Amino acid sequence: MPERRFGRSIDSLEGIHEFVAGFLESQGLSGPLSLDLDLVIEELFTNMVKYSPGGAPEIALRLERRNGGIEVVLRDFDVDRFDPTQASEADADRALAERRPGGLGLRLVRRIAETVRYEYGDRTSTITLTLRAAN
C-alpha cells in the first residue's frame, strides 16, 4: 500500500508521475493505464492545489491494487469541503467560443475512472477512485 505525500504545488506533478510509474512497474502493469492514472491524479491534485491554497503543505497519495484494478486515494488536509463529484463539468455541446478550460478535468476523470467517491471529515477531503487494470 504505497503512500507518499507531495507538496501543494503544480511542481509536484513530475514526482507524482515518477511515483505512479514506479508503482505500476512493481505491479507488472504499464501501457494505457499509466496515462489514465497520471491523468486522473493530475486533474484532482491540481484542483486541490488551485482551490485550497490554505490547506496543509502536503497532499497524500496512495495507490493500491484491488480486485483486479487500481485504487487511488488522495487526501487533502485542513481544507474546506470541495466535492468534485458534485461539481459541474464542461459542456461538450457548447460552442468552442464559449468554452473554458475549467471543468474539462472533471469531465476526463468521470470518463476514465470506474468509480469516484468523495468523503469529508475533520477538515480532510478524501477522494477515492478506482480504475480497471485492463483499461
Partner 1 sequence: MFRIDFAQDGTVLLVGRLDASAAPAAMATLAAIDRAVTADCSGLEYISSAGLGVIMETYKRLHGRGLAFQLIHAAPGVRNVFRYSGLDQVIDIA
C-beta of 82 vs 120, nearer to partner 1: 82
Q: At its nearest, how many Å lie between partner 1 and the CB of residue 11?
A: 6
* Cβ proximity to partner 1, 46 vs 126, nearer residue: 46
Return residues touching partner 1 (CB under 8 A). 10-11, 13-14, 17, 32, 35, 38-39, 42-43, 46, 90, 92-93, 96-97, 99, 101, 104-105, 107-108, 111-112
CA dist., res. 116 & res. 127, Å (int): 7
Question: Residue 5 or 107: which CB sits closer to partner 1?
Answer: 107
CB of 122: closest distance to partner 1 in angstroms? 28
Q: Which H helix or E strand runs over 99?
A: none
Strand order in the sheet with 124-132: 3-7, 58-66, 69-77, 124-132, 115-121
Cell 480532510 sits on residue: 124
- Cell 504505497 belongs to 2
